[in-house]
């Protein structure tokens, strides 16, 4: 059995090496530490995107948040033990999500004073629009396989700390202690936020989730 790279992988390497970013990536992944970090980021990036997407309800903002979290982790904490990366990464990500939410709120307030925005339907940045709407709620949108979408919408409407605790436990699979480290709070607080989140979601979706 030959150890030579296949034609496809050789082509991929050539393409990567040709681009500035790809060249840097290849040199970065040449050392084992970079490979470990690459593996970690590859493992968390999609879950992180879903978390950010549920919180921000905007794909581009969610991608920005994940990219910033990756950059910060790589630049500032890559030399820390790999076991610390997960809580650090999610803490950075949550901070970034809140920054984006605050920025969106401020932008909405400023735009509200602009004369040309009076007629515009900029509901995306409207805090009223972002507030939970108890009726009809996600349940009304549940139709067969739509339960997943309804769950994501309901999670997105949870208060920030409850959403964070629920997703870190159920999407990322962290235990209570890891979740507490990621959220920067006590384990007791995590349990409280989590149980409230579950209770709230069960009230909205319970009969469709069993």
By CB under 8 A, name the binding residues for other proteins.
21-22, 24-25, 28-29, 34, 37-38, 41-42, 45-47, 49-50, 59, 63, 66-67, 70-71, 73-75, 78, 147-148, 151-152, 166-167, 170-171, 173, 175-176, 198, 201-202, 206, 209-210
> Nearer Cβ to other proteins, position 51 or 108?
51
> Nearer Cβ to other proteins, position 125 or 151?
151
Nearest distance from C-beta of residue 62 to other proteins, angstroms: 9
> Nearer Cβ to other proteins, position 59 or 124?
59
| Torsion sign across C-alpha atoms 153, 158, 159, 165 | negative
SS3 125: helix
CA distance 36 to 104: 35
- Torsion of Cα atoms, 151 then 157 then 163 then 167, to 10°: 20
> Nearer Cβ to other proteins, position 117 or 170?
170
Quote the DSSP letter at residue 77.
S
The residue assigned the tokens 């910060």 is: 72
């Amino acid at each position: 059995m030959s150890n030579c790279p296949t034609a496809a992988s050789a082509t991929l390497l050539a393409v990567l090496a040709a681009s500035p970013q790809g060249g840097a990536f290849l040199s970065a992944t040449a050392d084992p530490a970079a490979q470990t970090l690459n593996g970690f980021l590859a493992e968390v990036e999609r879950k992180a995107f879903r978390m950010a997407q549920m919180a921000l309800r905007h794909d581009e903002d969610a991608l920005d948040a994940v990219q910033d979290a990756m950059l910060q982790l790589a630049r500032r904490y890559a030399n820390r033990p790999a076991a610390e990366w997960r809580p650090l990464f999610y803490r950075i990500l949550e901070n970034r999500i809140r920054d984006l939410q605050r920025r969106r709120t401020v932008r909405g307030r400023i735009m509200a004073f602009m004369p040309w925005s009076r007629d515009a339907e900029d509901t995306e940045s409207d805090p009223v629009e972002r507030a939970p709407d108890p009726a009809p709620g996600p349940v009304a949108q549940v139709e067969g396989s739509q339960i997943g979408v309804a769950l994501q919408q309901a999670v997105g409407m949870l208060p920030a700390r409850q959403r964070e605790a629920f997703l870190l436990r159920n999407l990322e699979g962290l235990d209570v202690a890891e979740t507490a480290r990621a959220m920067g709070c006590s384990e007791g607080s995590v349990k409280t936020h989590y149980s409230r989140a579950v209770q709230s979601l069960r009230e909205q979706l319970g009969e469709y989730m069993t």
